[in-house]
Structure 1
Amino acid sequence: MLPPLTIFDIETTGLDPQRGHRIVEIAAVRLENGKILDEHFVTFVNPERDIPWDARQVNKISDEDVKNAPTIDLVLPQFLEFANGSTLIAHNAQFDYGFLESEKQYCWGFVDLPECLCTMILSRNLYPAEFRHSLDVLCKRFNLEVPVDRHRALADVLLTTQALQKMLDSGKILSFEELKKRAGVKTLAKSN
């Protein structure tokens, strides 16, 4: 039986937290007993910096959207409270989890992140003959309807969750041990 899972996604000001890029949105849903719970977590995050033009073109989040949003030191503990008692899952978890690791520094080091699994790694393990494993490719593979707000955190979380459910079914993954083996639980980022 699978334990509770928290599927999450972030949107950012850029691709590299080591270059000062920050989180601008976090969203998550919980999957328990094979069902998506009604409650979800979604919030803008004030990155305390400008959002570059190229990031705005992808996620459609503007400086105006985040100017009155809470900062990460308030949001990250709330997100972890939502995820409490579960395992995190993200698509391309190295990116998302790496940003969470980097953003911990703004929480005075009092934040511990739970382990994280990756749906991209799971896809690579279940479909080794396939060359690409992006979320867009998984949507096509599983005939998932892509919403108009694709590349916003909650829309991507819901797509990732649907793809995860399809992969759990097709891979006949019923135990947490099997999921960990196939989804590549690792220390995904350097701790600060």
Structure 2
Amino acid sequence: MFWRKQRLNYKLDQSFLLDTKLRDMPFTVFDTETTGFAIAAYDGLIEIGAVHVDKLEVTDRVFQTFVKPLGEIPEHITKLTSIEQHHVENAPTPLEAIESYFQFIEDTKSGGWIGHHVSFDTLVIKKELQRVKCSYEEPSSFDTIDLIEYLNPSWDQRDLAEYARIFGTRTFERHRALGDALTTAHLFIELLKRLEDKGILTLADLLRLKHGKLLLKTARF
């Protein structure tokens, strides 16, 4: 039988002129928690958290939901996240949770997704939707890791909390989706302020930085 994908029609990426100042833009900073790292195989979502950032300020507009996975939460994940099976038993399905998250983004008129190792979190969303034959138009995304590497190219990769300590920003509950999203949001704002001193002022500048980092990573292999 041929299954046709259902396309989710949410406005996840507002249109901004390339010369828009980054300090004037809204963003969604988000994070996910999962049953493990084998997302392409059998692991899945157990929590989504997000916070709206606007004009270099972390707002009080936040999103958090548990997600009911297909299987049990492994013991080592419960120890890491403190999320137990009873937290997710009556939680929304992955599709329901993702649609609620997408609605939050649409309502806050985001200019793109921000995350720490954001490619993992976007992959989680994509794989969960693929499992239920759904697709969506992926918005622009920017990784705090890339911004840090641009500012300090000689650094090795470190834990999110360690970066927050180095850059003097707040740390919230670790290994929980909303806590890590808030930690990343405060770090992201500090990074943008430091990037201004490097001449990264507009959306076009940020896109050039992102694509330059992608080209560099590709050239390493």
TM-score in terms of structure 2 length:
0.77
Contact 2:31–2:177 (CA<8 Å) still a contact in 1?
yes
Q: When the two structures are aligned, how many residues end up with a matched partner? A: 185
Q: Is there any run of 5+ residues in structure 2 with no aligned partner, and where?
A: 1-20, 215-221
Q: Give, as a single letter, the amino acid of the residue that structure 1 aligns with 2:182.
A: L
Counterpart secondary structure, 2:136 = coil
Instruction: Tell me how far 1:107 sits from its aligned partner.
Output: 4.7
Counterpart secondary structure, 1:117 = strand
Match of 1:160?
184
Instruction: Tell me how far 1:56 sits from its aligned partner.
Output: 1.2
1:75 matches 2:100: no
Instruction: Tell me how far 1:83 sits from its aligned partner.
Output: 1.4
Contact 1:5–1:32 (CA<8 Å) still a contact in 2?
yes
Counterpart secondary structure, 2:78 = helix
Which of 182, 195, 205 matches 1:178? Answer: 205
For 2:210 and 2:52, locate their aligned partners in 1 and report how far apart those are by CA, in whole Å.
Answer: 17
TM-score in terms of structure 1 length:
0.88
Q: Identical aligned pairs, as a percentage?
A: 29
Contact 1:72–1:106 (CA<8 Å) still a contact in 2?
no
Match of 1:29?
51
CA separation of 1:107/1:40 partners in 2, compared to 1, >3 Å: closer, same or farther?
A: farther
Q: Is there any run of 5+ residues in structure 1 with no aligned partner, and where?
A: 187-192
For 1:133 and 1:123, locate their aligned partners in 2 and report how far apart those are by CA, in whole Å.
Answer: 10
Q: Please tell me whether Structure 1 or Structure 2 has the larger radius of gyration of its CA atoms.
A: 2
Contact 2:47–2:177 (CA<8 Å) still a contact in 1?
yes
Counterpart secondary structure, 1:150 = coil
Which of 111, 134, 147 matches 2:136? Answer: 111
For 2:120 and 2:113, locate their aligned partners in 1 and report how far apart those are by CA, in whole Å.
Answer: 13
Match of 1:189?
none
Q: Give, as a single letter, the amino acid of the residue that structure 2 aligns with 1:166.
A: E
1:150 matches 2:177: no
For 1:179 and 1:134, locate their aligned partners in 2 and report how far apart those are by CA, in whole Å.
Answer: 23
Contact 1:80–1:113 (CA<8 Å) still a contact in 2?
no
Spell out, residue by residue over 1:84-115, the C-alpha distance to the aligned partner (whole angstroms, 9 max, x if none).
24201110012111111111124532433312
Instruction: Tell me how far 1:132 sits from its aligned partner.
Output: 2.5
CA RMSD for the aligned pairs?
1.8
